[in-house]
C-alpha cells in the first residue's frame, strides 16, 4: 500500500495498542478507514461505517470504531516528518536526503506516490508507436477501464518507457545466442526475441517463469525458450551475449511496486549487492571472448548501479565498457542512469561490456 506509513502513523496516535500487535484483519480494517478519510476524502461517518462493518460480529468492532472516530476528531499530525507525510521508510529518506538534499528527496518520494502511466512498446517498423519521450516505438496508453492490451499490434509489450529503453538497447547489441538471466515476466524477452537467433530465458523456478510463459504464448515468441536454473551457477557453455536483469531493491520503480518500499532496509541492500556480484562473476565466466555482457537494475542506489559496475571492471579487467545504445540524455559515462523526477520515467540503470579477445 502506497500510503501505509502515513496511515499507520496517524492511526497509532489514536490507538491504545501497538499496531504491530493487532490481528491482520483488524489492522486492515483500520487502514481502509484511514485511507478513506485521509487520502480519498470520504466523509468520516461513511469511512467509519464501512470499516466497522468489516469486523461486524467480532469483539474488535468497538475498537475499530473508537480508533477511527478518534482519527476523525484529531486528524493527522501536521508536524509529521517528511518520510511520514510521504509514506517512505525513514532510512530510505535519510539516504536520499544525503544524496539529493531535502528538496530532491521530497521530490523523489512524491514521484513514488503518483499513479504511474501505462504504455507499450512495439517495433517502430510496424508504424504503431505513438512516440514516447525517448523511443519512437513507444505508445502511451490511456487508463480506460478496459484491458490495456486491446487494440495493440501483435508483439506489443506493456511496460514503462524506461524499461523499454534498457531492453531495446540490450537487444540491439550484437549476439546470436543470448542468455537472459532473470527473464520473468518477459519485458526484455519481448525485445530480444525479435533480434536474436536463440534466447535462453532463465529463471530460478518454474513458478517465477509462469508470467513469462503466459506472455510467450500471448505474444508468440519464436526465438526464446524458458529455462529453470540458478544464475549464480549457470548450466551453459559460452554465450554470445548475456543480459543480466539482476534482483535489486527496486528503488527506481516504487510507484509501480509500492510494496517494495516496505521491504527496503540497509541490510537488504547489502544482500542484493552481494548477490549481484555473484551473478556478474558467473556471467563473466560464461561469456565467450568477444561477447557482450549487459547488466541492469531498476534501482537508484549507487551500490547497485555505478559502484557495482566499477567494481566489476576492477575484478574483471578483460571486460571493457562500451557505450550503451540509448538516447544520449539518459546516458552518463556510457551507462544508462535514469532519475525519475528529472527524466519523468521510471528509474533504471544499465551498463554493457565486451570481453576483449
pLDDT digits (tens, 9 = 90+) for 78-118: 999 999 999 999 999 999 999 999 999 999 999 999 999 98
Q: At a CB cut-off of 8 Å and minimum separation 6, what does 213 contact?
A: 226
Angstrom distances, CA of residue 69 to CA of 11, 19, 52, 196: 11, 16, 11, 61
Grid coordinates representing 6 are 502515513
Largest interatomic CA distance in the chain: 73
Q: Is 46 contained in some domain?
A: yes
φ/ψ of 142, rounded to 5, equals: -90, 145
- Confidence (pLDDT) at 151: 60
Q: What is the three-state SS of the chain? A: CCCHHHHHHHHHHHCCCCHHHCCHHHHHHHHHHHHHHHCCCCCHHHHHHHHHHCCCCCCCHHHHHHHHHHHHHHCCCCCCCHHHHCCCCHHHHHHHHHHHHHHHHHHHHHHHCCCCCEEEECCHHHCCCCCCCCCCCEEEECCCCCCCCCCCCCCCEECCHHHHHHHHHHHHCCCCEEEEECCCCCCCHHHHHHHCCEEEEEECCHHHHHHHHHHHHHHCCCCEEEEECCCCCCCCCCEEEEEEECCCCCCCCCCCCHHHHHHCCHHHHHHHHHHHHHHHHHHHHHEEEEEEEEEEECCCCCCCCHHHHHHHHHHCCCEEEECCCCCHHHEECCEEECCHHHHCCCCCEEEEEEECC
Q: Is 25 contained in some domain?
A: yes
Average pLDDT, the chain: 92
Are the CB atoms for 160 and 345 separated by under 8 Å?
yes
d(CA 323, CA 320): 10
User: Is the domain of 29 the same as that of 165?
Assistant: no
Residue 127 clears pLDDT 60, i.e. is over it:
no
Cα torsion through 307, 310, 315, 320, rounded to 10: 150
What does the pLDDT average to over 60-66? Answer: 89
User: Is the domain of 55 the same as that of 86?
Assistant: no
Residue 59 clears pLDDT 80, i.e. is over it:
no
Q: Is 132 contained in some domain?
A: no
User: Is the domain of 166 the same as that of 67?
Assistant: no
Find the catalytic residue in 14, 248, 272, 298.
298
Q: Is 103 contained in some domain?
A: yes
Q: Is 152 contained in some domain?
A: no
User: Is the domain of 61 the same as that of 192?
Assistant: no
- Confidence (pLDDT) at 53: 83
Q: Is 155 contained in some domain?
A: no
Chosen domain end from 26, 52, 74: 74
User: Is the domain of 249 the same as that of 325?
Assistant: yes
User: Is the domain of 48 the same as that of 195?
Assistant: no
What percent of the chain is modeled with pLDDT above 90?
A: 81
**Angle formed at CA 63 by CA 59 and CA 66, multiple of 5 degrees:** 145
- What confidence tier does 56 reach under pLDDT thresholds 50, 70, 90? low
Q: Is 216 contained in some domain?
A: yes
Instruction: Name the CA radius of gyration of the chain, rounded.
Output: 23
Q: Report the length, in residues, of the chain.
A: 357
- What confidence tier does 128 reach under pLDDT thresholds 50, 70, 90? low
Q: What's the whole-model pTM score?
A: 0.92
What does the pLDDT average to over 187-212? Answer: 95
User: Is the domain of 107 the same as that of 18?
Assistant: no
User: Is the domain of 165 the same as that of 230?
Assistant: yes
User: Is the domain of 94 the same as that of 210?
Assistant: no
User: Is the domain of 23 the same as that of 54?
Assistant: yes
- Confidence (pLDDT) at 150: 59
User: Is the domain of 325 the same as that of 189?
Assistant: yes
- Confidence (pLDDT) at 57: 64
Q: Is 153 contained in some domain?
A: no
User: Is the domain of 100 the same as that of 16?
Assistant: no
Residue 250 clears pLDDT 80, i.e. is over it:
yes
298 is catalytic: yes
Find the CATH number of the domain harbouring 343: 3.40.50.150
Residue located via cell numbers 563473466: 284
Are the CB atoms for 247 and 182 separated by under 8 Å?
yes
Sign of CA pseudo-dihedral 4, 8, 11, 17: positive
d(CA 335, CA 317): 17
Q: Which domain holds residue 56?
A: 4-74
**pLDDT, tens digit, 9 for 90 and up, residues 232-241:** 999 888 899 9
d(CA 138, CA 123): 8
Grid coordinates representing 62 are 468497538
What does the pLDDT average to over 307-335? Answer: 98
Grid coordinates representing 128 are 504503431
Residue 326 clears pLDDT 70, i.e. is over it:
yes
Grid coordinates representing 263 are 521491504
Total domains in the fold of the chain: 3
**pLDDT, tens digit, 9 for 90 and up, residues 18-39:** 999 998 889 999 999 999 999 9
Amino acid at each position: 500500500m502506497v500510503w501505509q506509513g502515513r496511515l499507520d502513523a496517524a492511526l497509532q496516535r489514536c490507538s491504545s495498542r501497538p499496531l504491530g500487535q493487532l490481528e491482520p484483519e483488524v489492522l486492515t480494517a483500520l487502514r481502509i478507514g484511514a485511507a478513506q478519510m485521509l487520502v480519498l476524502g470520504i466523509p468520516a461517518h461513511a469511512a467509519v461505517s464501512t470499516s466497522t462493518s468489516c469486523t461486524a460480529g467480532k469483539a474488535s468492532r468497538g475498537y475499530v470504531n473508537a480508533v477511527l472516530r478518534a482519527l476523525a476528531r484529531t486528524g493527522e499530525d501536521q508536524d509529521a516528518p517528511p518520510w511520514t507525510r510521504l509514506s517512505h521508510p525513514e532510512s530510505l529518506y535519510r539516504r536520499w536526503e544525503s544524496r539529493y538534499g531535502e528538496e530532491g528527496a521530497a521530490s523523489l518520494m512524491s514521484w513514488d506516490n503518483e499513479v504511474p502511466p501505462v504504455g507499450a512498446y512495439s517495433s517502430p517498423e510496424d508504424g504503431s508507436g505513438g512516440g514516447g519521450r525517448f523511443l519512437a516505438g513507444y505508445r502511451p496508453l490511456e487508463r480506460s477501464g478496459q484491458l490495456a492490451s486491446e487494440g495493440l499490434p501483435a508483439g506489443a509489450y506493456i511496460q514503462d518507457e524506461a524499461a523499454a529503453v534498457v531492453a531495446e538497447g540490450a537487444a540491439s547489441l550484437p549476439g546470436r545466442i543470448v542468455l537472459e538471466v532473470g527473464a520473468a515476466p518477459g519485458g526484455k524477452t519481448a525485445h530480444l526475441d525479435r533480434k536474436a537467433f536463440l534466447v535462453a530465458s532463465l529463471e530460478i523456478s518454474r513458478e517465477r517463469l509462469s508470467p513469462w510463459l503466459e506472455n510467450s504464448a500471448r505474444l508468440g515468441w519464436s526465438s526464446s525458450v524458458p529455462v529453470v536454473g540458478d544464475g549464480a551457477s549457470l548450466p551453459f557453455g559460452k554465450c554470445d551475449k548475456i543480459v543480466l536483469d539482476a534482483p535489486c531493491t527496486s528503488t527506481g520503480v516504487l510507484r509501480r511496486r509500492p510494496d517494495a518500499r516496505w521491504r527496503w532496509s540497509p541490510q537488504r541492500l547489502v544482500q542484493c549487492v552481494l548477490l549481484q556480484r555473484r551473478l556478474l562473476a558467473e556471467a563473466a565466466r560464461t561469456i565467450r571472448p568477444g561477447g557482450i555482457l549487459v547488466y541492469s537494475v531498476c534501482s537508484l542506489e549507487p551500490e547497485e548501479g555505478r559502484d557495482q559496475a566499477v567494481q566489476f571492471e576492477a575484478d574483471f579487467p578483460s571486460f571493457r565498457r562500451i557505450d550503451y545504445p540509448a538516447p544520449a540524455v539518459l546516458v552518463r559515462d556510457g551507462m544508462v542512469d535514469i532519475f525519475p523526477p528529472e527524466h519523468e520515467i521510471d528509474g533504471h540503470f544499465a551498463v554493457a561490456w565486451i570481453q576483449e579477445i
